[in-house]
Amino acid sequence: MVGFIGNVESFQADNTVKLHLKNGGEDGTSIIPFKEVVNSVDGLSNGSKFWLKPWLFTGDLQTMYLGAADYSREFQVWYGRRLIEFPDGGSSTADFAIPKPESTEDFYNIAAKTLPSGWPKQHPRTRFFTPEELSQQPSNDTKPLVIISHGLGSGSHAPEVRSIVDKLTNINGFEVVVLNSRGCSRSKLTSGELFNGLATDDLRHFVKFIQNIYPNRPLFGIGLSFGSTVLVNYLGEEGDQSPFVASVTLSNPWDMVDSMYRFPNRFLTRFLFQDVTTSYLTRLLKSNRETLLKEGLITEKDLKHKYTSISDFDNRITAPLYGFPTSWTYYRAASSINRIFNVQTPLLSINSFDDPVVGVHSIPTEEAKHNPYIVQLRTDLGGHLGYIQSDGDSWASKKICEFFKNFNDLVDTTKKPETDYIKPVSRYDSKLHY
């Protein structure tokens, strides 16, 4: 191994939840602690080391490289797209990983025919399913299915997403689908509703849809950056009724207030993340101008406003749209740290000490010790969604995929974990809001 050495620290309860082994285990043992499943992945146990690209030796450089490098020839994933309609009249898209087509010419000919009127050209290797393909999609098979929630302003096309999809689909038996947030990944808005950290109903609706067409598939969840916020909030709301058998978050901004305070105070954070994301959010408004104006939820003044930061956008658009007086009130309410003790799905969380977006103070190392469903890994290198190694690929994405493979190989996912965990309750809980 060559490169700059990173280190792994692990934080969890003394007794993590006990998972049932398939076939009772080779040695007759019927259960395995969740922590041991994590440890079964080489490189994820406490004190492990990993190697990153030598000249990407800070979180800023890791994050900058991920955003600037040309990954167009890497992770050549192909997607079949499906329109997902929500009860409120809004919609999004779900991109299902599919095998490479025998004829790329035929693929793009079909893409031209299935593209909805008024929609932009889709990302490379992505097209809508035909009606016949949609009718053939339901299945009673038991293949494990991974649902990915992407980062802010990202989507199925992002390299950090494709890196994971590429690996999972090459592991025997795994299926993968990326749920794109409303208006993301060249999707059109069909209502005035946008995405936000508390918008878990979209994920909830989609999961129920997936359970309907794949009733026997065990479900795994991945949240990347902002997608982690949505996923953990969802897991916390679902509690012991969560349909996911295991989940992973990478670079979760656990405390959104802490993250948002960092943006204007660090030049590289502002340059690497805030300016790019603010520009994306502005384009999202303008590209869906007619729909948003028709719904009456924004005005021409909102469209013409020159947004200078994510907070500026959220203060003018997101917060009032969902009844929050300020963007900071929204950030406090939406922070997934608020729901960490409600999570009752085995959750592996990976954060880096040098993440320029999240920051070290947001990583819930102490909280993880009080919820046996959670193993929190903290690395000293990696940046935000980075972890770029000498081969240009991500150490984190490799380990996430290995974790899911080991979990699926070892654990009987038809049985609930065993634990005596009771959510801690403060005498002041009734006084807390957000």
Residue positions annotated with a catalytic role: 225, 355, 384
Cβ–Cβ < 8 Å for 345, 339? no
The whole-angstrom separation of Cα 193 and Cα 322 is 9
Q: Are strands 18-20 and 175-180 parallel, antiparallel or unpaired?
A: unpaired
DSSP label of 83: E
The whole-angstrom separation of Cα 279 and Cα 313 is 10
- Entry field: residues in the chain: 434
Nearest to 92 by CA among 216, 219, 227: 227
Phi, psi of 211 (to 5 degrees): -65, -30
The whole-angstrom separation of Cα 164 and Cα 110 is 26
The whole-angstrom separation of Cα 37 and Cα 19 is 9
The whole-angstrom separation of Cα 382 and Cα 352 is 6
CA 205 to chain centre: 16
Alpha-carbon Rg of the chain, whole angstroms? 21
The whole-angstrom separation of Cα 196 and Cα 319 is 10
The whole-angstrom separation of Cα 248 and Cα 356 is 20
The whole-angstrom separation of Cα 250 and Cα 398 is 12
Nearest to 248 by CA among 25, 407, 420: 407
The vertex-306 CA angle with 272 and 315, nearest 5°, equals 80
Burial (CB count <10 Å: 0-12, 13-18, 19+), residue 297: middle
Residue with the two structure tokens 């989940």: 247
Asked whether the CA dihedral 201, 207, 210, 211 is positive or negative, the reply is negative
The whole-angstrom separation of Cα 230 and Cα 202 is 10
Q: Are strands 91-98 and 175-180 parallel, antiparallel or unpaired?
A: antiparallel
The whole-angstrom separation of Cα 359 and Cα 353 is 7
CA 168 to chain centre: 15
